[in-house]
């Protein structure tokens, strides 16, 4: 039995919204099912809470669930729940109008979305105004809603084609809860409308968006089997009830209630990975805003870790409903290897990336997740060094990017970073633990009176160890950090010190490592400066296109010459990195330092004093500069000219 059908018009704002909903708001039409399932889940939550509060409420809560019902012939899909339901007034108030949504604010938002012609801008409206129900009209010509409030005897039927009007009537004999029946549009691949009566399609959408909803999402499925053989064979059809979602939101359960196997399986699911997680990080925040998180540190770096188009971020859920993959707003780029799930309570279901970038709660969650991950890595370093070494070997290069981008956590990142140095082994497979040192351990080993942390950047450990810059430091037993990752070239300029100890490149600036206070030593240095003064001036002129200055060196023991940058100049390796990325940078002229005790330098000084062939001496000067460049791993501007001059010099030396 039903009462008279009442015809009503939508508010003007609602008509605008419906037009947006159908034509532009959602980029993925599959999300209509996420919205309806989420509404059904909320209705079940509310019924359970109301039954707890009102002991006299005559409702059955023993089998709360969501049901999907399809009719391929009639082309209908029904999403049904046995939750709290709605009264007639609630239907009119919440579905037929937007009176509760703030009409003026909505009108302004609609206007902005239409003017911007932006699907992302329009999509923000869904979560802000709670209007996900209208997404049904993207895939349906007509939508019918039947609902009965728990404890009430009369139900309400609402129906609309998504145009100007809707109908509403009271009916009897309806089950408790709400059912939304969609009279589906024809399948249209060009318009991304799939067959929503297909078991496979619905299961696929539920698995993607609603797998962790707390209530079972069921669907009746017909199975046809052939019984008998030959002429006696006949088809028998049976109906089975299939649960489409797992309901296993591990992040909501205490860690001691979840097995390692369950965590590992979940990690492989969310990370699309085959390795076992190195560490599991559960989190729960309560208070002003609530969220839960389940993060994982992988044990193997993905192949695209350093690719520009690599996916960054963790999965974002709102009240167990999937919102997006790779939510980069929740994790800083240098922690892009972290995988997992964040489930927020107070965000809107259709929150867009534009909203996320401005959301105060998201920024607070990001800060807390970052600190928790870094603190976990710090604990691994002290308590589980083998796990830490695995993590650093796989992800250390990415972590050090945080020294550039995350000034708030720079000290913490420095404290958990590991480096190779002249005091560590090369770290073969037999003893990987001997390969790394921390800055704190370096400081502990510093010589009395040393107040500087020495380092050198380069393309490989071997190249740095063989560099002329290392000679005096090796001779005096001074430890030098060996920094070989591309990011090392940049963060060292952004990090001036560690625990009050200045970081200093041994390839830049002036050094006087002679700690002798002997007056004879000072007199010897002064004498050398005078002895080589003319040669230094001449070389400065002869090599003016290549070097800024020529000086006597105190950092060389076996090599004849070395190139040294200014204290704040760009290193040659960094220059090459910029050029390789397409960024033009001017060539930095450096200082050529000579070893006055080397036989080649002595011979060059004698030849210059004797005023022999200037052209030949200039070739020798060019060769000396080229040798210094090659010794540090640099690249010659004109290798052919260098080899030609070298051949000429060898020919002359052989008579």
Instruction: Using the predicted structure, report yes or no on whether residue 103 has a pLDDT greater than 90.
Output: no
Please state which of the ranges 1-5, 448-452, 593-597 shows the lowest mean pLDDT. 1-5
Using the predicted structure, report yes or no on whether residue 354 has a pLDDT greater than 70: no
Closest to 342 in 3D by CA, of 291, 298, 267: 291
How many Cβ atoms are within 10 Å of 515's Cβ, its own excluded? Answer: 9
List the domains of the chain with CATH numbers: 6-226+236-243 (3.30.565.10), 250-378 (3.30.230.80), 419-506 (3.40.50.11260), 519-653 (1.20.120.790)
pLDDT digits (tens, 9 = 90+) for 558-586: 999 999 988 777 777 777 777 777 777 77
* pLDDT at residue 484, as a whole number: 93
pLDDT band, very low/low/confident/very high, at 514 (cuts 50, 70, 90): low
Pair 335, 371: CB distance under 8 Å? no
Q: Please state, in angstroms and rounded to a whole number, the distance separating the CA atoms of residues 605 and 609.
A: 6
pLDDT of residue 54: 85
pLDDT confidence of residue 194: 86
> Average pLDDT of 213-218?
94
What pLDDT does 149 receive? 95
Indicate whether 25 pLDDT > 60.
Answer: no
Between residues 399 and 327, which one has the greater pLDDT? Answer: 399
Place of tokens 């083998």: 386
Token digits of residue 402 = 């945080």
By DSSP bridging, strand 177-184 and strand 165-171 are unpaired
Whether 520 shows a pLDDT value over 60: the answer reads no
Phi, psi values for residue 498, rounded to 5°? -140, 120
Better-scored residue on pLDDT, 188 or 238? 238
Mean pLDDT to the nearest integer, 299-317: 86
pLDDT score of 156 more than 90:
yes
Q: Give the model's confidence band at 122: pLDDT under 50 very low, under 70 low, under 90 confident, else very high.
A: very low
Rounded to the nearest integer, the mean pLDDT of the chain is 85
**CA torsion, ordered 521, 524, 528, 530, to nearest 10 deg:** 120
Stronger pLDDT, 78 or 27, i.e. the higher one: 78
pLDDT for residue 53: 83
Q: Is the pLDDT of residue 117 over 50?
A: no
pLDDT tens readout for residues 542-558: 999 999 999 998 889 99
Could you give the count of Cα atoms lying within 13 Å of 401 in the half-sphere of its Cβ? 13
Q: Is the pLDDT of residue 235 over 90?
A: no
Work out the average pLDDT over 388-396.
Answer: 95
Residue 101 has pLDDT above 60, yes or no: no
Q: Tell me the per-residue pLDDT of 123-148, one tens digit each, with 9 for 90 and over.
A: 444 433 346 788 888 899 999 999 99
Q: Where are the alpha helices (DSSP H) in 159-309?
A: 199-209, 260-271
Q: How far apart are CA 383 and CA 387, in angstroms?
A: 9
Contact 156, 146 (CB under 8 A): yes
CB 545, CB 539: distance < 8 Å: no
Give the bridge partners for 344, in sequence order. 291, 318
Query: Do 387 and 411 contact (CB within 8 A), yes or no?
Result: no
Higher pLDDT, 261 or 4: 261
User: What does the pLDDT look like over 395-439, one tens digit per residue?
Assistant: 999 999 999 999 999 999 999 999 999 999 876 554 666 889 999
Nearest to 649 by CA among 609, 616, 613: 616
3-state helix, strand, coil in the chain (%, to 5): 45, 20, 35
pLDDT at 394: 95
Distance in angstroms (rounded) separating the CA atoms of residues 550 and 589: 11
Half-sphere CA count of 34, side-chain side, radius 13 A = 26
Helices 12-20 & 103-116 angle (0-180, nearest 10):
30
Query: Is it the case that residue 324 has pLDDT exceeding 90?
Result: no
Q: What pLDDT score was predicted for residue 109?
A: 52
In whole angstroms, give the CA distance from residue 250 to residue 282.
9
Query: In this predicted structure, what is the pLDDT of residue 322?
Result: 84
d(CA 238, CA 55): 40
Mean pLDDT of 510-528: 67
Mean pLDDT, range 631-646, rounded to an integer = 87
Burial class, 178, CB count within 10 angstroms (exposed 0-12 / middle 13-18 / buried 19+)? buried
């Amino acid at each position: 039995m039903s009462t008279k059908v009442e015809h009503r018009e939508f508010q003007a704002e609602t008509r605008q919204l419906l037009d947006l909903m159908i034509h532009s708001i959602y980029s993925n039409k599959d999300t209509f099912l996420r919205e309806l399932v989420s509404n059904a889940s909320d209705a079940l939550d509310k019924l359970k809470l109301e039954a707890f509060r009102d002991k006299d409420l005559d409702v059955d809560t023993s089998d709360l669930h969501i049901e999907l019902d399809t009719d391929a012939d009639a082309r209908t899909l029904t999403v049904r729940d046995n939750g709290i339901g709605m009264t007639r007034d609630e239907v009119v108030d919440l579905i037929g109008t937007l009176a509760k949504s703030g009409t003026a604010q909505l009108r302004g938002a609609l206007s902005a979305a239409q003017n911007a012609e932006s699907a992302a801008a329009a999509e923000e409206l869904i979560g802000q105004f709670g209007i996900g129900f209208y997404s049904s009209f993207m895939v349906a010509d007509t939508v019918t809603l039947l609902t009965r409030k728990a404890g009430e005897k009369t139900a309400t039927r609402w129906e609309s084609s998504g145009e100007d009007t809707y109908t509403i009537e009271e009916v009897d004999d309806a089950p408790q809860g709400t059912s939304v029946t969609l009279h589906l549009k024809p399948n249209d691949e060009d318009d991304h409308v799939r067959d929503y009566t297909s078991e496979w399609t619905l299961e696929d959408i539920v698995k993607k968006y609603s797998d962790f909803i707390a209530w079972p999402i069921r669907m009746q499925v017909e199975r046809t089997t052939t019984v008998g053989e030959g002429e006696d064979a006949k088809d028998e059809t049976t109906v089975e009830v299939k649960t489409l979602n797992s309901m296993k939101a591990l992040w909501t359960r205490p860690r001691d209630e979840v097995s390692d196997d369950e965590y590992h399986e979940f990690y492989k699911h969310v990370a699309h990975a085959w390795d076992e997680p190195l560490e599991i990080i559960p989190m729960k925040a309560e208070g002003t805003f609530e969220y839960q998180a389940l993060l994982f540190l992988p044990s193997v770096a993905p192949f695209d870790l350093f690719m520009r188009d690599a996916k960054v971020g963790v999965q974002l859920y709102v009240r167990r409903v999937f919102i997006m993959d790779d939510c980069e707003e929740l994790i800083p780029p240098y922690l892009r290897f972290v995988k997992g799930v964040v489930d927020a309570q107070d965000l809107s279901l259709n929150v867009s990336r534009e909203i996320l970038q401005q959301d105060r709660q998201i920024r607070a969650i990001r800060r807390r997740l970052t600190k928790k991950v870094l603190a976990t890595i710090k604990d691994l370093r002290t308590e589980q060094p083998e796990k830490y070494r695995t993590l650093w070997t796989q992800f250390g290069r990415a972590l050090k990017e945080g020294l550039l981008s995350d000034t708030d956590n720079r000290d913490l990142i420095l404290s958990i970073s590991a480096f190779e140095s002249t005091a560590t082994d090369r770290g073969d497979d037999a003893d990987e633990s001997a390969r790394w040192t921390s800055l704190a351990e370096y400081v502990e080993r510093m010589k009395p009176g040393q107040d500087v942390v020495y380092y050198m950047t380069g393309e490989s450990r071997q190249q740095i160890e063989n560099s002329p810059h290392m000679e005096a430091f090796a001779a005096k037993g001074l430890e030098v950090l060996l920094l070989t990752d591309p990011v090392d070239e940049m963060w060292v300029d952004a990090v001036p010190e560690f625990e009050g100890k200045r970081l200093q490149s041994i390839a830049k600036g002036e050094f006087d490592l002679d700690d002798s206070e002997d007056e004879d030593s000072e007199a010897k240095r002064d004498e050398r400066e005078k002895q080589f003064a003319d040669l230094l001036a001449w070389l400065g002129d002869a090599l003016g296109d290549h070097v800024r200055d020529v000086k006597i060196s105190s950092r060389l023991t076996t090599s004849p010459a070395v190139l040294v940058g200014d204290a704040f100049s760009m290193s040659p390796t960094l220059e090459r990195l910029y050029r390789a990325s397409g960024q033009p940078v001017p060539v930095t002229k450096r200082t050529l330092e000579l070893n006055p005790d080397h036989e080649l330098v002595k011979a060059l000084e004698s030849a210059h004093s004797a005023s022999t062939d200037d052209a030949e001496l200039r070739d020798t000067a060019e060769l000396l500069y080229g040798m210094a460049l090659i010794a540090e791993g640099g690249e010659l501007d004109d290798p052919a000219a260098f080899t030609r001059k070298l051949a000429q010099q060898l020919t002359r030396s052989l008579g």
